[in-house]
Structure 1
Amino acid sequence: MSQPPEATGSGPHERGSTGGIERAERRILTTPVVAWAAYDVGSAAFNAVITTFVFTVYLTSSAFGPADQTSSALGQGLAVAGLVIALLAPVTGQRADRAGRRTFWLGVNTALVVLCSAGLFFVRPDPAFLWLGVALVALGNIFEEFAGVQYNAMLPAISTPRTIGRVSGLGWGVGYLGGIVLLGMIVVGFINPEVGWFGVTSHDGENIRVAMLLAAAWTLVFSIPVLLVVRDAKLPHRAPAKKLGLLASYKALFGTIASLWRSDRHTLYFLLASAVFRDGLAGVFTFGGIIAAGTFGFDPGLVIVFGIVANVVAGIATISIGALDDRLGAKRVMVFCLVAMCLAGLGIFLFHDQGPMVFWVLGLILCIFVGPVQSASRTFLARLIPPGREGEVFGLYATTGRAVSFLAPLLFAAAIEIGRRVVEPGQDAQYWGILGIIFVLFIGLMLLLPVHPRQQSLAAEES
């Protein structure tokens, strides 16, 4: 028997007494949402400053040894971290679901990220400290990913079916913007001046090492609101579940996968499709700066400027396009964005010889759609997950992403090798790598098209 509109708050033709409920369901700037989005601002410290722009660049510098050795060491550490995440993320999510302690484990893993970030202060520019730096970055990646599983799993609890797209977009968007604010503070306060804030200089890598303390504090401060506001008691009620050992947890996990295969196969299809196109998105960021410098002649300073502008554009676009997710449905947003990215990437390839303006225009167009695809992917999955399985399924989401993380680098390199055999002798074929990234995005798009969402957009339901 269907419930009356007063009980669900979703009756499209009821007005009067249900009007306040409908307005409340459409609000996104609630206290839990603001606290939840603030966490994304905090996590940008590890993702943008430590992993991407600042610390890993420092760790692979000549101060720690030959470039091939330092890069190889970092690659090995991150590979081990990726394997640990792939093996344990679904189980840690499942165990948090069963215990009903999602906020608790978010806090524990975030605290460990903060400790790893602060520990980077002790990594002096000396080869003897290389593996300490690698170990801390790898451990930080593990705990950051485990925290992200719990964080993503909170999305259905702090939003409504009418707002989940905008809420997810808000989180992704302010995360981009928060990372740029922190990066700007570090550049202005520690990296560019000879004598930075608090009298810090570059002697003994002090400017980079102190910046890691700022990154740790940033993560800590912006993670506190969600831990105080989104309490475990406010998550959807579930009956107490029996604790399981590690082997029993894996057995339950395989049971969940088998159950999804029998009853909701499209969820598994989507996990595969999203894993592929998310790796393509990662490739855009990983190799974008390389293409900018090698093919279009950007100097290192201009690459940083482009990175800042690109993240600002991505942040604003992600927040703005979140509304389309709620109105049109996440799948339509993902398909449109992936098509637009493939076309923009193809344009960069075809017009690479027309100068830097091509990369500024088409590269920023690419960045407009990166964030919305990530955000819509999260909301699409959140709408598919059976209640009480959020942590477990978002753990699978993390695992599948790690399982295919070799695709973009492999096809980027393979496309360049093909290009070397096509271009005139002596010409640079680096720009051919763009086709490898486009191909990964295209494969993900093709895998996504047959996936049918279990829930249609509200706009479609009300029409």
Structure 2
Amino acid sequence: MSTHTDDGGQSRTGFLSRKVVIWASWDVGSSAFNSVVTTFVFSVYLTTPKLFGPSANANLGWTTALAGILVALAAPALGQWADRTGKTHTVLTATTLALAALIGAMFFVKPSEHYAWLGLLLLAASNFVFEVGSVIYNSMVSDISTPENVGRVSGFGWGLGYIGSILLLFFLLVGFIQPEAGLFGVTGEDALNIRVSMAVCALWTLVFCLPLLLTSRNRPPSGEPSRGLFGSYADLGRSIARLWRESRSVVWFLVSSAIYRDGLAGVFTFGGVLAGVAFGFKREEVIMFGIAANLVAGVATVVFGQLDDRIGPRKVIVGSLASMCVLALIVFFGKPAGPVVFWVFGLALCVFVGPTQAASRSYLARVAPPGSGAEMFGLYATTGRAVSFLSSVMYSSSITLASKVSGRPKDDVAIYGILGIIVILLVGLATFAPVRPETETSERPERAAARTPA
């Protein structure tokens, strides 16, 4: 799927051109969902046992898994429809507006078990529309970069998103979520400070995503009729079979990245929850950790973007995944030492999350055959969504198993959820072994010459 932007006639080879900044602004807008909703504020609020019941943490995992399954089922049909009708801008706009509306509706989730499933439903639905919109957004990186700077462009987008997370989390902490009333006088009575924060996040999403929505355009339709859900899966199978014959390394990348990207999603989804439930962080401490984590991740992603262009994304991915597994194990075994372990090694782990995501996006942009970037990113999204329930299932299963074996409440063994995420990262790393460096998969000069300006 490819959405073209009006770049004011600037060359696509420019690293920080107007169109790159506009493209990256969507990352800033979506940071409200990634950081505030799913990681450090709303998910933590929704898994508070005294507010939403003792099974709230595990229920979050099962609900997230269900959302992933739904995305996996719908992504091929939506992707094929957008490709063939050319209505990529329409899909991006619809999903972005729906995301903002769903985040805004979280204001109505009051601190009571009666509202738990409303919160979980809104979280699952917002996850669905965000993932569909991300398919379009990620595919645009090949339209605004060249093989020589795609690592920097991809890293810049992720890095700017982290900066947005820092600013938004700090504003919410100071303005609303402090233990006493924040700058705007909103208290924590009836969790109003958290609920108002969701309304602010909805506005943030609209404001920063709007530039891309206003400048992107639908592309000409392909002229091929939509084949529906089952036809889309048939097309998907044929595409993968062709890739297996022509570029087996790319198939291995699609499979392995689908697995380890779900592990990365698990880190984001459950990181704040683990801080609160397993390590006893207070709400404001979770947000402070979120600010620090996004600062570390943002700087690291921009720096690793330079490294990506120098040594190649494959080395960045392997090194980052291996480091994350080691650091996550230290967090697990170091729990008896208390919150300081999570502060030190949890932050160290955050160094590698953004670079892995950015390098994965740049790798695919580098190896996509000329004229097939849309199809490749469609496969990238679809294969990712096909296993998007793994980390959630492993997280909740690990906690449930630990609870049954030990006879302790699930909240007391919440730290075991991290083992499930480690397993996903390790499997992703193992299946990444057959993936060749991008320079062995495609000739970069030929690819650069084959491209036409967006």
What is the TM-score of this pair, normalised by structure 1? 0.80
Determine the structure 2 residue equivalent to 1:377. Answer: 360
Matched, 1:121 2:107: yes
Deviation, structure 1 residue 391: 4.7
Counterpart amino acid of residue 131 in structure 1 = W
In 2: Cα distance, 1:198 partner to 1:303 partner: 21
Q: For residues 308-327 of structure 1, what are the structure 2 equivalents within 5 Å?
A: 308-327=291-310
Tell whether the 8 Å contact from 1:91 to 1:395 is kept in structure 2 after alignment: no
Tell whether the 8 Å contact from 1:90 to 1:391 is kept in structure 2 after alignment: no
* DSSP 3-state at the match of 2:147: coil
Of 25-34 and 121-130, the range deviating more from structure 2: 121-130
Determine the structure 2 residue equivalent to 1:11. Answer: none
Task: Quickly say closer, same or farther: Cα 1:355–1:75, change in 2 above 3 A.
Answer: closer
Unmatched segments (≥5 aa) in structure 2? 1-9, 407-411, 447-454
Determine the structure 1 residue equivalent to 2:178. Answer: 192
Matched, 1:444 2:428: yes
In 2: Cα distance, 1:290 partner to 1:137 partner: 14
Task: Identify the match of residue 183 of structure 1 among 166, 169, 177.
Answer: 169
In 1: Cα distance, 2:438 partner to 2:12 partner: 21
Counterpart amino acid of residue 223 in structure 2 = P
Matched, 1:55 2:48: no
In 1: Cα distance, 2:275 partner to 2:173 partner: 21
Unmatched segments (≥5 aa) in structure 1? 1-22, 421-427
Determine the structure 2 residue equivalent to 1:269. Answer: 252
In 2: Cα distance, 1:188 partner to 1:240 partner: 53
Tell whether the 8 Å contact from 1:408 to 1:436 is kept in structure 2 after alignment: yes
Matched, 1:44 2:31: yes
CA-based RMSD: 3.6
* Cα displacement string for residues 349-390 of structure 1 (whole angstroms, at most 9, x for unaligned residues): 677777765554433322211110111112212333333414
Deviation, structure 1 residue 214: 0.8
Of 45-54 and 108-117, the range deviating more from structure 2: 45-54
Determine the structure 2 residue equivalent to 1:16. Answer: none
Deviation, structure 1 residue 131: 3.0
Tell whether the 8 Å contact from 2:165 to 2:291 is kept in structure 1 after alignment: no
Counterpart amino acid of residue 143 in structure 1 = V
Determine the structure 1 residue equivalent to 2:119. Answer: 133
In 1: Cα distance, 2:57 partner to 2:326 partner: 32
Task: Quickly say closer, same or farther: Cα 1:458–1:333, change in 2 above 3 A.
Answer: farther
* DSSP 3-state at the match of 2:225: coil
In 2: Cα distance, 1:261 partner to 1:133 partner: 42
In 1: Cα distance, 2:76 partner to 2:353 partner: 25
In 2: Cα distance, 1:290 partner to 1:126 partner: 18
* Cα displacement string for residues 151-174 of structure 1 (whole angstroms, at most 9, x for unaligned residues): 111111121111111111111112
Q: Kindly indicate whether structure 1 or structure 2 has the higher relative contact order, using CA contacts under 8 Å at least 6 residues apart.
A: 2
Aligned residues: percent identity? Answer: 45
Deviation, structure 1 residue 396: 1.6
In 2: Cα distance, 1:178 partner to 1:287 partner: 20
Determine the structure 2 residue equivalent to 1:229. Answer: 215
Larger Rg, first or second structure (1 or 2): 1
Deviation, structure 1 residue 36: 1.0
In 1: Cα distance, 2:124 partner to 2:242 partner: 33
Deviation, structure 1 residue 435: 5.9
Task: Quickly say closer, same or farther: Cα 1:228–1:290, change in 2 above 3 A.
Answer: closer
Tell whether the 8 Å contact from 2:169 to 2:290 is kept in structure 1 after alignment: no
Q: For residues 227-266 of structure 1, what are the structure 2 equivalents within 5 Å?
A: 227-233=213-219, 239-266=222-249
Count of aligned residue pairs for this structure pair: 430
Tell whether the 8 Å contact from 2:367 to 2:442 is kept in structure 1 after alignment: no
In 1: Cα distance, 2:305 partner to 2:342 partner: 26
* DSSP 3-state at the match of 2:119: helix
Deviation, structure 1 residue 208: 2.1
* DSSP 3-state at the match of 1:27: coil
What is the TM-score of this pair, normalised by structure 2? 0.82
Task: Quickly say closer, same or farther: Cα 1:104–1:370, change in 2 above 3 A.
Answer: same
Matched, 1:145 2:114: no
Task: Identify the match of residue 208 of structure 1 among 183, 194, 203.
Answer: 194
Determine the structure 1 residue equivalent to 2:449. Answer: none
In 1: Cα distance, 2:404 partner to 2:62 partner: 27
Tell whether the 8 Å contact from 2:85 to 2:221 is kept in structure 1 after alignment: no
Task: Quickly say closer, same or farther: Cα 1:246–1:144, change in 2 above 3 A.
Answer: same
Determine the structure 2 residue equivalent to 1:90. Answer: 76
Determine the structure 2 residue equivalent to 1:32. Answer: 19
In 1: Cα distance, 2:343 partner to 2:191 partner: 33
Counterpart amino acid of residue 163 in structure 2 = L
Tell whether the 8 Å contact from 1:90 to 1:399 is kept in structure 2 after alignment: no
Q: For residues 443-462 of structure 1, what are the structure 2 equivalents within 5 Å?
A: 443-453=427-437, 455-456=439-440
In 1: Cα distance, 2:356 partner to 2:237 partner: 28
* DSSP 3-state at the match of 1:335: helix
Counterpart amino acid of residue 14 in structure 2 = R
Task: Quickly say closer, same or farther: Cα 1:434–1:409, change in 2 above 3 A.
Answer: closer
* Cα displacement string for residues 22-52 of structure 1 (whole angstroms, at most 9, x for unaligned residues): x966531111110111101111111221222
Q: For residues 338-417 of structure 1, what are the structure 2 equivalents within 5 Å?
A: 338-345=321-328, 359-385=342-368, 386-406=372-392, 408-409=394-395, 413=399
In 1: Cα distance, 2:327 partner to 2:36 partner: 27
Task: Quickly say closer, same or farther: Cα 1:295–1:53, change in 2 above 3 A.
Answer: closer
Of 24-33 and 190-199, the range deviating more from structure 2: 190-199
Tell whether the 8 Å contact from 1:415 to 1:435 is kept in structure 2 after alignment: no
Tell whether the 8 Å contact from 2:367 to 2:438 is kept in structure 1 after alignment: yes
* DSSP 3-state at the match of 2:388: helix
Determine the structure 1 residue equivalent to 2:157. Answer: 171
* Cα displacement string for residues 394-428 of structure 1 (whole angstroms, at most 9, x for unaligned residues): 332432441533575278559969998xxxxxxx9
In 2: Cα distance, 1:322 partner to 1:170 partner: 7
